Structure 1
Amino acid sequence: MKKNEFATWQMLIKKELLVVYRNKTMLISTVMIWTLFIAATICTFLDYQSAHKQRTEANMLFRQQWEHQQRNPHDAAHFGTYLFKTINLLNVFDTGLDDYAGNTYRIEAHVQHEPAAANAIGNDGSMRFGRLTLALIMQLLIPLLILFITSTSITSEKENGTLKMLLAQGLSTSRLIWAKAISSYLFIVAVVLPIFLLMFSMLFISPDFTILLSRLLWIILAFLLYFLFVALLGTLISAWSSNSGKALLTALSCWILMSIISPKLLTGIADRSYSSMSRAAFTDLVEQGYRKGLNGHDPYAERGDRFVRNILKNFHADSISELPFNIEGLTLQYHEHYRSLVFNHYLAQVERQFDKQQNFLTIAGIFNPFLSIKRFSMALSGTDYYHQQYFFKQAQTYRNHLIRKLNMQLAWHSKSVEGEYTVGPQYFAQIKNFDNRLPPIIKVIQLNKIALYAIAGWILLLATLLHFIASRSLARHYEPA
């Protein structure tokens, strides 16, 4: 019995695949999709090469400028340097927020900068609809193709009069529905499989292969689950629709609502519900907090005088000339540390609002799988909000350590020097480069597990509806005579 059932399944799926294969519309759609895939692949690789070359050259330039200095350590801190967010192939697979968030961090004494120099600046027209990426095709166009195939898979049998014939031969509606869904899904897997293999080959020649491989595997798994969800949704629509016209209209409406209207609407709601302060307001709060103190009653000058008095008291000295170091370096570092405290205090308020927005969108993704796959794809590609903040925190830590090192150099080595104290290339060359690393993959998955669970949950829900509701409803309407 089991052997006969397997043979029946095999025959049904083979028959459905042949129908799809012989459909000229499907052939044209597949050619168009592959043309876009090829164009996106070329654009992706060229964007990666260009961005990687620019950032490598910029890193070398600023490092050379830094190493060939001959100046006072604090002047060097004012001169500063630039840090760049590293780029890899997955960043250009799904650009995410990278085009709209800064990828450059400025180091400068007395000023806490934020990442800047976003690609969208000066390119508003070209960036408005997003770049053509592989992720965009798989998030929007492949699901549209799946819905186009599956939404008419059963209605076409109704309209051609073959459905009653199939049921009269003893074929169950449940088996027919699942054959339609599985065959459509296998066809789409065959369409996208070469692009996954191409991504593997491109990643294989990348120096970050070992780091990015696990991320790519998770991306493939997530998209395969998402395509299965769309295939089940389209088949369900087809089973419940009376004709192909209504099925196509319903499927197209679901696609527009899920992929275009809903994301814009939910993002706007998140922004309005958990609005953050403007950059100008944030900058003003930081400056006022630094000048007047976080409590508003601890002015800059009084803090500095109190710090010097405490130093004299701790070293049992009556004047700064009796101290074994240059008090200027320690004072500079004290004010630098206080400014960092003020900056982080108000930044935490901004981050709390952004975190609320992210949590809102995560919950919204439970009801809209498109949001879930989009956020999961960005997270695994390293272009979501979490990765942007991860880069910023690393850059800020490096910046604070560097400024402190320069101020301490001034404090402990300039006391006995006549005239201006300077250090040369030998000192600056021994300062380590900025190492921007990706967060552990386990952490990324943990932060985005709800998105994956949401897609899996929708698959189970649709499978249940297909098996217990749609198949029985179809059987009641088309009982053989």
Structure 2
Amino acid sequence: MSVIKQVTRDEWRFWHRTKLAATIIIIGTLLTLVSAVVNTLEMQHASHEREHLQQSAQAQFLEQPDRHPHRMVHYGHYVFRTPSALSIIEPGVDAFTGTSIFLEGHKQNTAMFSDQRQASGMTRFSSLTPSFLLQVLVPLFIILIGYASVTREKEAGTLNIMITQGINVWHLLLGKYFALVSSGLLMLLPLIIAAIWASIKGESALITSSFVAGYILYILVWSGIVLAVSAINKKNSASFAILVSLWIVLCILLPRIGSSSAAAIAPSPSKLEADFAVKEELRKLGDGHDAADPAFEQLKKNLLTKYNVDKVEDLPINFRGTVAQYSEKKLTEILNQFAEKRMQEELEQAHIARQFGWVTPTTAIRSFSMLVAGTSLETHHRFLREAEKLRFDFVQSLNKVHQDNLSYEADANRNKNADATKAARVDAANWQVLSEFSFKPDTAQTRLFRSAIYAVQLFFWFGLIVLLLRFAVRRIS
């Protein structure tokens, strides 16, 4: 162990003397620190803003005056997704999927106000999140620091001298490996601080510790790659060229190929095609605003038989409200079928892209990071489902008010004059049917279970690095 410690100390002394490695470490650490601070401030502002907007939307809905209940169905309501505690490090898909949905009758609107959709091309490149820095740039910094760790000893002839003096090659490599890992951990320090902050803000300690452990494993993998390549090659130039090429392939090309391959293997219809398909199905349901539509003839017959009357005017309930309820139920069933199909297609593509974690550690840590942080596609889909449940519940509750609290006669004559319009209103107390909306990330157990396979991918890469280092030792010996 004394030899390993001495080699580690010597490596740090060399980096200090050359200034280049020390400068890179300082730049890398400062970049991740500044990124973490900026992202934390942005996420805190977004969280407070969305919570305020959610309360404001709720209050505005409840404060509406007496109206016709179907007017409130179209008045609608907004729901907002507050960011998870770890989104200060890993925003995940949140920047692309939107943070707010407008809920109204007869429609399932898409999420709005995503940062990337509203940003210009140049602005997108300026968004350096802590996760991007740690997943893509920190490996490059480790390469710049350690590409000559062993090759410089070979070029200077000191490696053979150390071996002839009886220094164990494994001890030599482990000393240099620990030095590289420690430099990576310095750049990881802001993430650790941010994770502690997330725990203070209510995130599970199990989640934050697992999150940090995943990134430490990623640093171990890249430090091993850099050291192994440096040990196998004889010249600094060759080591540097191979490592930069590996970085381009593993951090940039393969993740991009993964997403493109997923879209090609599991193609999904365009939004325009999907919208036309939905409209085609909805046409068969009839117009829920027109109680005389032939599509509701059987419903009318069933109600007349049930209540033993001859005309809809004699029903003890408002037939128009019943039609609105029936139509909304059938419409929502169809919309949900298409929505679930779309979400399954998106998940299938995501799962295909994530399998590239077996060929690049960058994809493995990206998948693990988003799933543990609660900013993955699965979390976004749960937000859509919970928002849709709220939409359907409050719309159907208003339709029930339309059916039970408003007479058919007043409803049918509401456009005759001002007095008729006023008579077709219900008391504002009926707007209390709207439930509060508060979206939270999945439980710690759920997130860890989903991310387990991607943790296995990271361990797989660590095992490959161990084998690669063993091969490098044989080459040196």
Normalised by the length of structure 1, the TM-score is 0.89
Return the offset for 1:424.
Answer: 4.1
| SS in structure 2 at match of 1:100 | helix
Please identify runs of 4+ aligned residues in structure 1 that moved more than 6 A: none
- Report what 2:194 is aligned to: 199
2:133 counterpart residue number: 137
Aligned residue runs from structure 1 range 9-158, under 5 A: 9-70=4-65, 71-129=67-125, 131-158=127-154
Deviations, residues 428-458 of structure 1 (Å, cap 9, x unaligned):
2463211212112222222222211011011
Unaligned runs of 5+ in 1: 1-5, 295-299, 476-481
Please state whether the residue corresponding to 1:152 is helix, strand or coil: coil
Counterpart position of 1:402: 394
Match of 1:466 among 439, 464, 469: 469
* SS class of match (1:324): coil
In structure 2, what residue type is equivalent to 1:110? H
> What residue number does 2:260 align with?
268
SS state at 2:101 partner: strand
Taking the TM superposition and a 5 Å limit, the aligned residue runs for 1:242-281 are 242-281=234-273
* DSSP-derived class of the 1:120 partner: helix
Give the match's secondary structure for 2:96. coil
Question: Displacement, 1:309?
Answer: 1.7
- Equivalents in 2 of 1:212, 1:125: separation in Å? 36
Equivalent pairs: percent with the same residue?
22
340-349 or 15-24, larger mean C-alpha shift: 15-24
Judging changes above 3 Å, is the alpha-carbon distance between structure 1 residues 31 and 7 closer, same or farther for their aligned structure 2 residues? closer
User: Equivalent residue of 1:383, what SS?
Assistant: coil
What CA distance in whole angstroms lies between the structure 2 residues aligned with 1:149 and 1:370?
A: 19
> What's the TM-score, normalizing by structure 2?
0.90
- 1:204 deviates by 5.3
Measure how far apart 1:356 and its partner are.
2.0
Is the Cα–Cα contact under 8 Å of residues 366 and 450 in structure 1 kept in the other structure?
A: no
**Whole-angstrom CA distance in 2 between matches of 1:424 and 1:51:** 35
2: CA distance, partners of 1:72 / 1:402? 15
- The answer to whether residue 189 in structure 2 is matched with residue 190 in structure 1 is no
* CA RMSD across the alignment: 2.3
CA contact (8 A) 2:261 2:353 kept: no
C-alpha deviation, 1:247, in angstroms: 0.4
Tell me, yes or no, if the aligned pair for 2:90 and 2:373 is still in contact at 8 Å.
yes
Partner of 2:415: none
Give, in angstroms, the shift of residue 102 of structure 1: 1.8
1:109, CA displacement in angstroms? Answer: 1.1
Task: Return the letter of the residue paired with 2:462.
Answer: I
SS at match of 2:116: coil
Does the CA-based 8 Å contact 1:69-1:424 persist in structure 2?
no
Counterpart AA for 1:184? L
Structure 2 segments unaligned to the other structure (5+ residues)? 287-291, 411-419
Change (3 A) 1:24 1:314: same
1:176, 1:30 → 2: CA distance?
22
Offset, 1:37: 2.5
The amino acid of 1:463's aligned partner reads V
Distance 2:432 2:336 in 1: 30
Pair 1:451–1:130, CA change in 2 (3 A): farther
